[in-house]
Amino acid sequence: MNAVDIIIKKRDGLALTKDEIEFMINGYTLGEIPDYQMSAFLMATYFRNMTDEETYHLTMAMLNSGKVIDLSRIKGFKVDKHSTGGVGDKTSLVLAPLVASLGIKFAKMSGRGLGHTGGTLDKLEAIRGFNISMDIEDFIDQVEHINIAIIGQTEEIDKADKKMYALRDVTGTVPSIPLIASSIMSKKLAAGSDAIILDVKVGSGAFMSNLADALKLATLMKNIGTKANKKMTCVLTNMDEPLGYAVGNSLEVIEAINTLNGRGPKDLTELCLTLGSYLLIDAGLVKSEIEGRTLLLEQIKNGQAIAKFVELVAAQGGNVDYIYHPELFDLGEEVELKASESGYISHIDSYVVGHASMLLGAGRETLDSEIDYSVGVVLNKKVGEYVNAGETLATIYHNGKNKDEAYRILESAYRYSKEPVDVKLILDVVR
């Protein structure tokens, strides 16, 4: 068996065997297969696709390229969540403590943001002192004792994916459904939870721009997880406009705190209640989504959800004063974006808003870019709302970097109509 024959086989559109896929993944992880051959393999996969069985074997080979976390010593039901990436997506900051406040074990490893999408770790690090680095044993201990931990992915887990994703990023092979599915699911399966919920974003600010492709991806990931004996839910959600109002690290943490206190945006609250309800069903706490939503809302009203977030921040070294007093967060100077005309807002391009926020310093153009936690954008109006010419559409928070360019770009994100526009947040659910 050799890499050239496997590349040719996939180039010609033939299905690979489990052994052939493992040969490629193991060889590349160990450095025995060079970048140029793996690049050819990835490009062949991009053009020729993979069967569901091939994608499952690819996922498992990537999973077994590193350490698989064993959470079995933790009593209780363990859950995990992943988002395919969006703008203003601070869902994990709300969902994790909300669900954990009911005794479910939320063991989450998150990533950093790149490009126009934000990362959960960057947002958490906006809280002074918050430590996202923890060894596996401490991670397990924390989940065991307070039901929740959110940390960065360790070097030992899914070694193949780290190498392969870096290569995909520079070879134009990122938007491949089997490669996306195996990348996400190999990491999620390695984290060891009993149930996984996936927030699959669809629209201008997402990797999946249309619902048909997003549904294919969701179904594939659900099937992989089910075959690996995990309870799986994929919720397809609208990312044609940003989630919530805030885009930018400190700004999003503040909005998450407000949501846990019952004062959050309607769409963010709705999404967290939907995702949380399915996790409660999988954990056996409730029998229906309606029952789950009622229970989760009660946790917000009685203060248990925000209390669990405070407990998480304290356990990982963060200054909890920031949670009690969000005004402590440093924010940049403000510039208001005014509406150029009157009418109903028919579109707010998520990608454009995310790009503007990145230019201000809230996101990374490369993995080495430094983050400015104090900058970003806060929307004043959402799609479907009426705005008068000269009224404030959004507030830009800046420290001087690319302020004028960000303003100009943000202005181009808006479209108007004479009639109201309906927005649907939850597009589909695959279970």
Please report, for the domain that includes residue 241, its CATH number: 3.40.1030.10
Q: Which of 158, 161, 240, 349 is catalytic?
A: 161
What is the per-residue pLDDT for 320?
98
Of 309, 324, 339, the last residue of a domain is: 324
Question: Is 168 marked active-site?
Answer: yes
Question: Is 65 marked active-site?
Answer: no
Q: Which of 182, 183, 204, 277 is catalytic?
A: 183
Residue 270 and residue 134 share a domain: yes
What is the per-residue pLDDT for 302?
98
Question: Is 19 marked active-site?
Answer: no
Q: Which of 187, 230, 308, 398 is catalytic?
A: 187
Rounded distance, CA 67 to CA 181, Å? 19
Non-local (6+) Cβ contacts of 8 within 8 A are none
Residue 280 and residue 186 share a domain: yes
Tens of pLDDT, residue by residue over 308-337, are: 999 999 999 999 999 999 999 999 999 999
- Contact assessment for residue 356 and residue 378, using Cβ atoms and an 8 Å cutoff: no
Q: Is residue 144 part of a domain?
A: yes
Question: Is 230 marked active-site?
Answer: no
Residue 36 and residue 167 share a domain: no
Residue 314 and residue 178 share a domain: yes
Report helix, strand or coil for 210. Answer: coil
What is the per-residue pLDDT for 166?
83
Rounded distance, CA 318 to CA 213, Å? 39
Residue 210 and residue 112 share a domain: yes
What is the per-residue pLDDT for 326?
97
Give the domain range for residue 163: 78-324
Sequential pLDDT tens for the chain (431 residues)? 999 999 999 999 999 999 999 999 999 999 999 999 999 999 999 999 999 999 999 999 999 999 999 999 999 999 999 998 889 999 999 999 999 999 999 999 987 765 566 789 999 999 999 999 999 999 999 999 999 999 988 888 999 998 998 898 788 898 899 999 999 999 999 999 999 999 999 998 887 889 999 999 999 999 999 999 999 999 999 999 999 999 999 999 999 999 999 999 999 999 999 999 999 999 999 999 999 999 999 999 999 999 999 999 999 999 999 999 999 999 999 999 999 999 999 999 999 999 999 999 998 776 667 889 999 999 999 999 999 999 999 999 999 999 999 999 999 999 999 999 999 999 999 99
Residue 120 and residue 268 share a domain: yes
Residue 263 and residue 353 share a domain: no
Residue 305 and residue 224 share a domain: yes
What is the per-residue pLDDT for 38?
97
Residue whose C-alpha is closest to residue 42's, from 165, 158, 137, 135: 165
What is the per-residue pLDDT for 156?
87
Q: Which of 57, 116, 168, 398 is catalytic?
A: 168
Q: Is residue 64 part of a domain?
A: no
Residue 300 and residue 171 share a domain: yes
Give me the CATH number covering residue 39: 1.20.970.10
What's the chain's Rg over C-alpha atoms? 22
Question: Is 145 marked active-site?
Answer: no
Give me the CATH number covering residue 367: 3.90.1170.30
Q: Which of 10, 78, 82, 90 is catalytic?
A: 82
Residue 388 and residue 303 share a domain: no
